[in-house]
Chains A and B, each alone.
Chain A
């Protein structure tokens, strides 16, 4: 009985994620509307500094756990083993900034008890830099690496892996955006402005994001040739996650340029959380499909005993 309830929860993970995201978006947009209609000056309730919010970290954690569940169902030697391993490591890298942000907060609060050495500025800065690297270029590189075998498998099974005109246009637009960002940073550097490590790390992630965009466009085309089945949904979620990550980057770039644009910062935060939800949806849909296969009608106790343990235990 317990196992059945657990399975039902696992199988309905995509629905839970979507419900959570919907509620989060609705509450934020409602508060934005109320705040605006009250005529109050809008202060951005986004995340503090470079650390992702609690919800984003929570979604990343859920995504990591679901990735590990999906990974366990692919034994060594199977084609998707590598894909899920890289996706799991990428999910872990997504959790890292939030976890390190919380750790930094805890250390700075308890520096009086533990001693100043634990919360020295150098140590804190190193942690922040590592968090930025892990959540930025490292994670994107892992995702790009995971997409390569995925596209290869799709091609092997006869799905067309070729970018459409719209896909090429989206990729081109993002390449132009990347070029603009580099030109802007170069111009600022030549003008004597100082570019922080955070900015450099963000810039380093952009070319990788370009590659990821191209892969996402190829994946979108391949999945369109597959249909909208349970497995196809997982990979279409990955396409949306990459697109939302790109949109989040664009929003992050636009915020300092338009400081008076009141909802922009909030939209930036909402895009980031939507991207985190989309990343969590990838393994959630995969695990849901696997559990559905093992227990199609949800009423076959014989299958519960055989199929569930390896997938969900």
Chain B
């Protein structure tokens, strides 16, 4: 019966007892396959030892990975705000103009900032600047993402 990998690793580290170690040694002398497995384990162990002594580090690649993770997190957060803003704008447009006008403005792939800009221009033209500002403020109220959007419409 072949010894398990864990037993071979323990044998390699001299962590098996005398009896068990003797049995494994006798088996290894007879079994070429287990001998080969032991050889591979020893090779991996040496490789790991060498890596721990001088860790491989690529700062540019790691920094890119960190930035990508941050961007993904921010996109997730802003995506929620953009979706909320889009739905608020859609509601306001339907209230003041109607569903066809909303469909006309909400083209596929249009970003929330663009939609806000176009809706704001329409509201300002048809309702007047003061009423349009009130509608815009109502749309942006409570959104974390409101800062840049406000600037985009001014």
Q: Do A and B come from one complex?
A: yes
Is A127 interfacial (CB-CB < 8 Å)? no
* Option from A232, A290, A295 in Cβ contact (under 8 Å) with B127: A290
Q: Which of A271-303 contact B (CB under 8 A)?
A: 289-290, 292-296, 303
Please, how many angstroms separate the alpha-carbon atoms of A159 and B94 in the complex?
15
Is B135 interfacial (CB-CB < 8 Å)? yes
A-B contacts, 24 of them at CB < 8 A, read: A73-B131, A74-B128, A75-B129, A78-B125, A157-B122, A159-B104, A227-B94, A227-B97, A227-B101, A227-B102, A229-B95, A229-B101, A232-B97, A290-B127, A290-B130, A293-B131, A293-B134, A294-B131, A294-B134, A295-B134, A296-B138, A303-B134, A310-B130, A311-B131
- Verify B96–A79 contact, CB threshold 8 A: no
Tally of contact residues, B, Cβ under 8 A: 26
Can you add 5 more A-B contacts, CB < 8 Å, to A78-B129, A225-B101, A292-B95? A74-B128, A224-B100, A229-B94, A290-B130, A310-B130
Query: B127: shortest Cβ distance to chain A, in Å?
Result: 6
Q: Which of B56-111 contact A (CB under 8 A)?
A: 93-102, 104
Please, how many angstroms separate the alpha-carbon atoms of A39 and B126 in the complex?
53
* A303: chain B residues within 8 A (beta carbon): 134
Is A307 interfacial (CB-CB < 8 Å)? yes
* A307: chain B residues within 8 A (beta carbon): 130-131, 134
- Verify B97–A229 contact, CB threshold 8 A: yes
* B130: chain A residues within 8 A (beta carbon): 73, 290, 294, 307, 310-311
Q: Which of A219-258 contact B (CB under 8 A)?
A: 224-232
Query: B107: shortest Cβ distance to chain A, in Å?
Result: 11
* Option from B98, B122, B127 in Cβ contact (under 8 Å) with A293: B127
* A296: chain B residues within 8 A (beta carbon): 134, 138
**CB closest residue in chain A, given B118:** A157
- Verify B125–A230 contact, CB threshold 8 A: no
- Verify B125–A293 contact, CB threshold 8 A: no
- Verify B98–A153 contact, CB threshold 8 A: no
Please, how many angstroms separate the alpha-carbon atoms of A158 and B127 in the complex?
17
Is A118 interfacial (CB-CB < 8 Å)? no
Q: A73-B131, A227-B94, A311-B131 are in contact. Are A80 and B125 (CB under 8 A)?
A: yes
**CB closest residue in chain A, given B94:** A229
Please, how many angstroms separate the alpha-carbon atoms of A292 and B132 in the complex?
11
**CB closest residue in chain B, given A296:** B138
- Verify B100–A225 contact, CB threshold 8 A: yes
Taking each of A225, A226, A307, which has the highest tally of chain B beta carbons within 10 Å of its own beta carbon?
A226
- Verify B98–A80 contact, CB threshold 8 A: no
